[in-house]
Amino acid sequence: MKLLYAPDTADHPNWGCRFMGDWYRQALVNLDGVRMRRIGSRWFFHDDPKVPAPLSWPDMIAIAQAVRDGRDQGLADVLPLLAGCDLVFMNGENFIRPGTMKGRRLLMLAYLAKVVFGKPVVMANLTLDLSEPALAEMAAQVLPLLDEVQIREAVSVEQYRTHVPQARCVEFADVGWTARPAPLAAWAAMARRDGHFNAWPDRCAAFDAGRPYVTVSASSVFVGAGQHGGPAEAFVALCRRLEQDVAQVVLVAPCEVDASIMRKVQAATGFPLLGLNLPVVQGIDVLGNARVHVGGRWHPGIFAATGGTPLVAMGANTHKMATLMQQLHPDEPVFDALGLASQVDAIVARARAQVEAGPALRAQVLQQAAAMRARVEGNLGFVARRLAAAGDAQAALSSRPT
């Protein structure tokens, strides 16, 4: 089977993107019979005026008609890949949300693959924010055409079914739940070495991982807020209070937005910083062994939970963090990241309470993480069934008498 995998998000520095991209690529090529081609994630959000990003459903129809008529519409790099594959497997991630080019291109590529080229299409690992009417219309027109739509959390399922009441979709957990942090004893001594967690251009001071520590990240809500200091001053205040009242602090920069903030916090405090380009498995080890994680990032919250680390959550650019807290700590608040300066006391109090809850809470988090990990199982089932059917057809053909 010639499989087109798009977008392969491993080309993006975001820790969650790298983890997902690698996970899907490896899991797919491990299926016997898959020959893979890929389109990287940057094609979907690169600001190239020659590559269309439909603003409305009529735009989508016009682009498809132009492709049928032999006008490539700036898609000359991808149309041969669609024409030459047997199946398109798409990692939807958090692309389909208001104000983004990448969600529109994701839907466009799925539509062209299905309607113009007649290919089976799987849209996996999807979060949906359909609050923008034009985007909601495109999603409602395109997604029901696909062979399988996999959504990773209940709020997005509800939004989809609100717009498409008879929608067919299946719910699989995010593949981030398959992360497995290394035990603290396996790496704590190395953390005391200066430079062990350096990842250019960031430098990370040595820290004693054998002592309790708190990890802190920022939030996707701060996209575009890094100018003129942004929220860094509030994070400095928060981190100093956490260090004073809870435990030593390790800063985490799992995305470019967080890196721009946390580098300022590091400069002001001297706290260790796990930088943007750190190997993701090292970041997972540190997150999964923290006493508590504070932040507004979906994948770092998941990675932390896979080691039993509880979460004090801030809001994000969609409903993701509220959903994650419903999965992990349904009675806990989600703090408004944009109002961080006024919520330092409350966040520190919740972090201290999570730490004081001790092993019993960690055991609950581990149990929930295991349950979520089990819900990843089967997410490649459509591809596996297609491979099996192709094998059966080939075997039947070979067994015919000549």
DSSP string, 204-229: -----TTS-EEEEEEEGGGTT--GGG
pLDDT of residue 228: 44
pLDDT of residue 278: 98
Residue 392 scores a pLDDT above 80: no
Query: In this structure, what DSSP letter does residue 51 have?
Result: S
pLDDT of residue 402: 62
Q: What is the pLDDT of residue 230?
A: 78
Residue 349 to residue 368: CA distance in whole angstroms: 23
State the residue for tokens 């981030």: 176
Q: Are 308 and 362 in contact (CB under 8 A)?
A: yes
Distance CA 378, CA 382 (A): 8
Classify domain 2-172+378-398 at the CATH class level: alpha beta
Write out pLDDT tens, residues 44-66.
999 899 999 999 999 999 999 99
Confidence band (pLDDT; 50, 70, 90) for 400?
A: low
Q: What's 127's DSSP letter?
A: E
Torsion-angle region of 358 (φ positive above 0: left; ψ -120 to 50: alpha; else: beta): left
The whole-number average pLDDT for the span 348-359 is 98
Average pLDDT score, the chain:
95
Give, in order, the Cα–Cα distances in Å from 305 to each of 243, 275, 314, 364: 21, 20, 15, 10
Tell me the torsion sign for CA atoms 110, 324, 259, 25: negative
What average pLDDT does the segment 174-183 reach? 98
pTM of the shown model: 0.96
168-177, 274-283, 385-394: least confident range:
385-394
pLDDT band at 73 (very low <50, low <70, confident <90, very high): confident
Q: Stretch 214-228: mean pLDDT, rounded?
A: 82
Inform me whether the pLDDT recorded for 298 exceeds 50: yes
Sorting pLDDT into bands at 50, 70 and 90, what band is 134?
Answer: very high
The C-alpha atoms of residue 159 and residue 149 are separated, in whole angstroms, by 14
| pLDDT tier, 23 (very low <50, low <70, confident <90, very high otherwise) | very high
Is a pLDDT exceeding 60 seen at residue 181? yes
110: which 2 tokens? 């799925």
pLDDT for residue 104 is more than 80: yes
Q: What order do you get walking across the sheet with 248-252 strand by strand? A: 273-274, 248-252, 213-219, 292-296, 311-314, 334-335
Reduced to 3 states, what is the DSSP secondary structure of residue 99? coil
> CB of 61 within 8 A of CB of 145?
no
**Helix, strand, coil fractions of the chain, as percent rounded to 5:** 50, 15, 35
> Which CATH number applies to 179-374?
3.40.50.2000
Residue range(s) in the chain whose domain bears CATH number 3.40.50.2000: 179-374
Dihedral pair phi/psi, residue 48, rounded to 5°? -110, 110
Q: Give the residue-averaged pLDDT of 242-251.
A: 98
Question: Coil, helix or strand for 120?
Answer: coil
DSSP one-letter code for 181: P
- Tokens 């708190």 — which residue? 214
